Chains A and B, each alone.
Chain A
Amino acid sequence: GESVGLHLPTLSVQEGDNSIINCAYSNSASDYFIWYKQESGKGPQFIIDIRSNMDKRQGQRVTVLLNKTVKHLSLQIAATQPGDSAVYFCAENFMNRDDKIIFGKGTRLHILP
């Protein structure tokens, strides 16, 4: 669903450990999904995307998993670093229509030294 001013949940992870950030999306017709990272004082930046014909996609240190059966998306970050501290948003879109992209609520990732 859309984020409408709720305080963000926080995930605290030890530096060097792997992080898993979860997201539930709302529209079963959505066929394109994106993860964004937002650092303090900046606009969100693209991390990785995945189309609905895939269930896994890997980038540099990041992996996105898609489970369409339960409408669930996750972002895995390997060997987290201090620079990974940020707010992470998932987003969904139905590309075959001119629908807007819908953002999830966001999760704040806090890296412990």
Chain B
Amino acid sequence: GAGVSQSPSNKVTEKGKDVELRCDPISGHTALYWYRQSLGQGLEFLIYFQGNSAPDKSGLPSDRFSAERTGGSVSTLTIQRTQQEDSAVYLCASSPRSRATGNEQFFGPGTRLTVL
């Protein structure tokens, strides 16, 4: 029904802990993206899933970051051993990748991660 949803909306964690961020894309959208946005800055690409293809992980900043997309739908972004510089808003977007309708991305509201 609705748009892209993300959970939690806010996450406060201690340095060194692992966190999992969840994204529920729009049903039927084959493409899913994760971005990171620090305060007052642009969008930093992290990872891209398209159908059954191998994900494009070229934007992941370190091996502490990983993501999976199960069954071509829900995606989880995992950050291990969090650091203070990981604090940011993590945005998820999905897209239908249709030549008829275009490749518009629909963004979720984001998860604000704060690492103390």
B-binding residues in A (CB < 8 A): 2-8, 32, 34, 36, 42-46, 49, 51, 89, 91, 93, 95, 98, 100-106
Contact = CB atoms under 8 A, between A and B. Distances in A.
> Which bracket fits the contact residues of B?
20 to 34
B65 interface: no
A6 B41 contact: yes
Given A43-B91, A43-B108, A98-B53, A5 B103 contact: no
A49 B102 contact: yes
Contacts, number: 78
Contacts of A51: 102
A32 B102 contact: yes
Nearest to A43: B107
A3 to B, nearest CB: 3
Most chain B beta-carbon contacts within 10 A, residue among A4, A32, A42, A89: A4
B33 A101 contact: yes
A37 to B, nearest CB: 11
B107 A44 contact: yes
Interface in B59-116: 59, 91, 93, 95, 97, 99, 102-110
A32 B3 CA distance: 22
Given A43-B91, A98-B50, A98-B53, A32 B43 contact: no
B103 to A, nearest CB: 5
B44 A4 contact: yes
B95 A101 contact: yes
A102 B103 contact: no
Interface string B26-41: 0000010101001011
Contacts of B4: 43
